[in-house]
Structures are given as structure tokens and as C-alpha cells.
Amino acid sequence: MPKARPRRFPPPRGPRPRRRSDRGAPPPPPPQAAPVVALAPEGAAPVVLPRQIRVEDLAKAFDVSVVDVIRALVNMGLMATKNETIDYDTAVLVATELGFEVVPEQVAAEETGPEIAEEPAPAAQKILWTDDDPARLRERAPVVTVLGHVDHGKTSLLDAVRQTNITARESGGITQHIGAYQIEHKGRKVTWIDTPGHQAFTAMRARGASITDIAVLVVAADDGVQPQTIEAISHAKAAEVPIVVALNKIDKSDADPERVKGQLAEQGVTIEEYGGDVPLVPVSARTKQGLEDLLDVIVLVADVRDLKADPERAAIGNVVEAHLESGRGPVATILVRTGTLERGDQVVVGTTYGRVRAMVDDRGKTINRAEPSRPVEILGLPRVPEAGDVLRVAPDEKTAKAAAEEEQRRRAEGAAGERPATLDEMFAQAKEGKTKELKIVLKADVQGSLEAIRGSLAKLPQDEVGLNVIHSGVGDVTESDVTLAAASNAVIVGFNNKLDAPAKRVADSTGVEVRSYKVIYELLDDVQKALLGMLEPEMVEQVIGHAEVRQTFTAGKTTIAGCMVVDGVIRRAAQARLIRGGVPVFDGRLGSLKRFKDDAREVNAGLECGIVLDGTNDVAVGDIIEAYVIQAKPRG
């Protein structure tokens, strides 16, 4: 445990250290010792937990992987390795996150031990980050991402907003492109992500960085809804981010707003004027017409969302972009999500850690503090982190190092563990009450088949698991489809199309399941089976042993192979393959398996046996009989 505690890392017990703005605020409630009734799986008995428990043992107690527990801890801002001990209160939070109900050991045993809350601080508490304190929550600026079809004016809009609201007001301020910028509109701040497009938006989301609060969907009034507009809508909806439509190029003579409004309605985007809840603002990035209205609306939507953060706590942020710069070293643009990032803070960013040597804002100004929703470039990391990586302030270097190493391990393990679910797994999860919905991205060769499939899917019974087609479109399965599926834990269903090369790469690296069909009936059947939980498990072959033919005998018309089991086991009930000179020459079943004169159920390696193959007498000395079984591939 560190001797001197940094100011923003309170001891696990007792009141939090206060900062200036805390004065007068009521002290936070003491940690809860009482059992927390969590969203437990139906019928599951509460898990009895001791006052302190190792992370690994907690995973065992819940019968979940240790990665799940560590991930839950990370979500709570607590970096702990599997060998570290956490206290009951922390375990309760983990339980809540994972959906378990727990009771403390002494309650379960009806003991009258000392109050849990008075226990001395266990070891792992030293790295507990503070939570957002409800009493200290303050409004934060909304984070906006611009989406839409190519050439509809996304970049122009970002530039126009930046020019009118920054350069004009900041005397001498030179706008820096750092990946995000913040403007002020009628005294309210709005943060804009500088990389437009749903690919970047969803790629960040797939990495766990859902930083966007509002999606501005740019639709050119002269061109209307186009394929990428539809994709953008699906991506924003899948992320559950509210949409504001910026109907751009309104200055053009062939602008046709009414047509666009109708097209949007067809895509499930019903604007307020049509009785829906999506605001639409006519704008022109060229003439700047309507930009102020757009900002008014964005601020309004932000108000409805009640976006808040705790500026007093240790900062948590996300990397928006990062690169190596000569003379400056690794530079990372961080969007602070909550807390305040300060120069000199010890931080862990993804798998790297270091001290924030300097901070530069989107106007090139050196700053010492960055509040929530403020994008800022940080210098001082030894390595370039990845976009989407989480930044956390750590109490000391040792903790930062441990957290970075843990993240490295987690990623090494995570390659398998974090793989999005397959159709089979989704149903398994649904059965356990973890998933109530099967999400699919549907791509078909032509509009006609797409409509037919969509129509039939809608008619499938959805009693146990609901079906949610988060995106559908015509054409091959693209990288954007795969990233969307990865970010949304969806399965891709393709009909009469293929996976393009970049999409295949992303599918391989993310483990997204892509199912291709040539027959609509089979597609519907599989989805229905998944929904009903009858999806046949994938059958795989497992070789269980080999026997070498040492001599052959003839009994009537039957050839008996006198064999030596050279490895594994030969089972009477197994399938068998006859291999000659490395080439399989027969595939079938065992007709009989004998040890000396007796029938045997199985014969192990090192023992002799007599084998008759069912269906062939063509067996020769030197042949290999390979025994195998076909079994359901284990889930997960």
C-alpha cells in the first residue's frame, strides 16, 4: 500500500477527501455492508461471500471466468489482478455488475461478528478509484459525431462549425486538428469528434469506447438518403445514440427537403414534423445557414439526456487518436469522460502507462487541467496507445504498471474470451437469461431477396428470444457490417453474397460469426432454430486412436485384421477409417472388435486386438485403422 495517498484516491473507509467545490456538500454515505439484491438469474441462490476474497476465488464462487470478474472490476475503476484480495463491499459491486445476489458469510451463518464496515482495508483497496459521486455530478458537454453518406458535407459541416465558433472568437487561436474539438454556443460547450463517418464511430464502439452522445446525421438535401445514410442510421441506432438530422446543402437550387423527409421515414427515422422524435435542421455548411439552429437543437437533446460527470474524481477518458510525432514522442488525444485530468497525473492508457508531461488543447494552448468532455492532447506516454483505449489516472506508478500489465494479459486472453457470440452461444445465453434478443446484420444480393427474407424473419415466432435486425442492406458483407456486428454482439447473415477481403480480415480478428446461405429456407430455418433454441450444435470429428494392421486372417468371406493399438484407444462404437500409405481408402464403422477371442468395448494403446471393418475386406498388413467419433462442438 502506498504510504502517501494521492489526493484523489480516498482510503477505502471513511469520508472521501474533499476538494474546494465539495464544501458544504453532504458526506457520501458509508459503504453498504448489507447484501445487495442484484439482477440475479432466476432461481439462483444467493452466493455466500466472506469479508475478503481473492479475485480468482470470487470468479469460482460465481462460476464465471476470472476475466469476467476483472472486467467488472475495471468497469468500476478498480484494477486488480486475479491474486489480489477484494473486500465484501467491492465483491457486492462485482456481483451487481454480473447479476448475482450475494450475502455476507456471517449473515448466512447468523454470526454476530464485527460489522463488515469496520474491517481494516484489504490490500487491493489501495488501487480503488473513486466513483462518480452523485453529490458532485455536474453537467458536461455533449460529444457529437457526424455521420452520413460520402460527399453529403460531413467534413464541411465540421469545418463550418469549428470556424464560426472557434476561430472567430479566439483571438489568435490557431485551430489544431487533434481528433476532436470543443466549441461554445450560447455559453454551452459542445464537443465534436473530428473524424466523421460511422466506420470510425463503430470501430471505437467495438473497442468499448462509446463516447458519442449525439449523432448528427448529415443528409444532402439534393441527393437524399443513400446507402451510407442507411448504414449510418443502423449504426447510430445499434449504439442507441439519439440522431439529429442536419439536412445539408439547403442552399442548392435542387434541394428537395420534403423528399428527404419521406425517405428518412422509410428508414425508420421519423422526424418531429412527422410526429417522431428526431429533430431535423436544414443547414448549409457552405453559407453557414442554420448552423446556430443545429447547435440549439444539439444542446436541447443534450439537456434531455441529462449528461453529467464528476469533475472532482480521478479522470477516466478514451483515446480518440494517437500517433508518434518527431520531437514530441507519442501523442494521444484524450477525451476526458469523467473526472479532471491534470498535468503530472500518473496514467495508464490501454497497455501503456506514464506521466502526463504536458497537455495541449484543440487551440494549441498548453493547459494544466482538462475537465469532462474536453479533448486534449497528452504527451509523456512511452508508447503510442490505440484509438478507443481507456485512460485512467492511477495513484502511483506501481499501480499504473500493474494495471497496464493486467490489460495486456486481458487482451491476450480476451482474443478468445471477448469474441462476439455465435448463433449457438446466443441461444445458450438466452436460456440463462443473459440475452433476450438475437441481433443480426442481414445482407442479401438484391433488394427483392432482402425484402423477402426480412418479411419472413418478421413472421418467425419470437417467444423466447426476440429478433433484432440491427442493419440490413443489399450487396456483399463489408467491413462496416462486420464492425457493426462486433460492436453490437450481432451475427451476420448473408444471402447469395460474399464477404469482401477487408471484411473477412475483420471477421477473423474479431471472431464475428458470418453465416452464408444460398437457400432462403435454410437461412430462415437456422434463425428460427436459434430463436427456439433448437439450433443443432456444430458436429466435429475427433480422432481417438490408431491401430496398425500387423497380420490378416480370413474367416469365411470376412477379413480379420490383427492389429496393435499404437496410440489412443479403439472403441467398438467408433467410426473407423482405413489409411494406406497415408491415404484414406475406406471410411465406415467397426464390424467387430475383439481381444483374443472375446468381444471388447475398447482396446487401449499397446494392446493387440482383432478388428473387422464393416463394409470392406480389403485390409492389408501395414494399413492404419484410425478410430474417430463425431461429437457436438463444445460451446464457448
| DSSP structural state of residue 434 | S
Per the CB < 8 A criterion, the answer to whether 552 and 559 are in contact is: yes
E strands, 556-600, where?
Answer: 558-571, 575-580, 583-595, 598-599
Residue closer to ligand GDP, measured from CB, 252 or 529? 252
| Residue 227 contacts ligand GDP per CB under 6 A | no
Among 5, 18, 19, 286, binds ligand GDP (CB under 6 A): 286
| Residue 164 contacts ligand GDP per CB under 6 A | no
Closest separation between CB of residue 47 and ligand GDP, Å?
Answer: 52
| Residue 156 contacts ligand GDP per CB under 6 A | yes
Nearest of 209, 457, 474 to residue 336 by alpha carbon: 209
Q: Which residues, including other chains, have CB under 8 Å from residue 491's CB and lie 6 or more apart?
A: 420, 421, 422, 423, 426, 438, 439, 440, 441, 485, 512, 513, 514, 515
Closest separation between CB of residue 232 and ligand GDP, Å?
Answer: 11
Burial class (CB in 10 A: 0-12, 13-18, 19+), 586: middle
**CA dihedral for 53, 54, 57, 62, sign (positive or negative):** positive
| Residue 145 contacts ligand GDP per CB under 6 A | no
Per the CB < 8 A criterion, the answer to whether 17 and 7 are in contact is: yes
| Residue 198 contacts ligand GDP per CB under 6 A | no
| Residue 496 contacts ligand GDP per CB under 6 A | no
Among 10, 122, 153, 282, binds ligand GDP (CB under 6 A): 153
Give me 625's grid cell. 485403422
Residue closer to ligand GDP, measured from CB, 151 or 325? 151
Q: Are strands 316-325 and 369-370 parallel, antiparallel or unpaired?
A: unpaired
Among 212, 284, 429, 435, binds ligand GDP (CB under 6 A): 284
Residue closer to ligand GDP, measured from CB, 288 or 363? 288
Closest separation between CB of residue 294 and ligand GDP, Å?
Answer: 12
| Residue 285 contacts ligand GDP per CB under 6 A | yes
| Residue 150 contacts ligand GDP per CB under 6 A | yes
What is the three-state SS of 317-372?
Answer: EEEEEEEEECCCEEEEEEEEEECEEECCCEEEECCEEEECCEEECCCCCEECEECC
Per the CB < 8 A criterion, the answer to whether 566 and 578 are in contact is: no
Residue closer to ligand GDP, measured from CB, 85 or 155? 155
Closest separation between CB of residue 146 and ligand GDP, Å?
Answer: 8
Residue closer to ligand GDP, measured from CB, 158 or 492? 158
Closest separation between CB of residue 203 and ligand GDP, Å?
Answer: 17
Residue closer to ligand GDP, measured from CB, 130 or 284? 284
Residue closer to ligand GDP, measured from CB, 248 or 422? 248
The one-letter amino acid at 578: L
Closest separation between CB of residue 216 and ligand GDP, Å?
Answer: 11
| Residue 252 contacts ligand GDP per CB under 6 A | yes
Q: Could you tell me how many residues of this chain bind ligand GDP (CB under 6 A)?
A: 16
Could you say which residues in the range 555-614 bind ligand GDP, by CB under 6 A?
none
Among 81, 229, 234, 248, binds ligand GDP (CB under 6 A): 248
Stretch touching ligand GDP by CB under 6 A, among 143-151, 348-356, 393-401, 598-606: 143-151
Per the CB < 8 A criterion, the answer to whether 578 and 586 are in contact is: yes
Stretch touching ligand GDP by CB under 6 A, among 152-160, 314-322, 359-367, 453-461: 152-160
| Residue 155 contacts ligand GDP per CB under 6 A | yes
Q: What is the number of other CB atoms lying within 10 angstroms of the CB of residue 383?
A: 17
Torsion-angle region of residue 306: left (phi > 0), alpha (psi -120 to 50) or beta?
Answer: left
Closest separation between CB of residue 221 and ligand GDP, Å?
Answer: 8
Per the CB < 8 A criterion, the answer to whether 422 and 492 are in contact is: no
**CA dihedral for 364, 370, 372, 376, sign (positive or negative):** positive
**Separation of alpha carbons 452 and 256, rounded Å:** 31
**Separation of alpha carbons 332 and 318, rounded Å:** 10
Nearest of 425, 461, 322 to residue 379 by alpha carbon: 322
| Residue 162 contacts ligand GDP per CB under 6 A | no
Closest separation between CB of residue 160 and ligand GDP, Å?
Answer: 8
Among 189, 249, 392, 546, binds ligand GDP (CB under 6 A): 249
| Residue 71 contacts ligand GDP per CB under 6 A | no
| Contact positions vs ligand GDP (CB under 6 A) | 148, 150-156, 196, 248-249, 251-252, 284-286
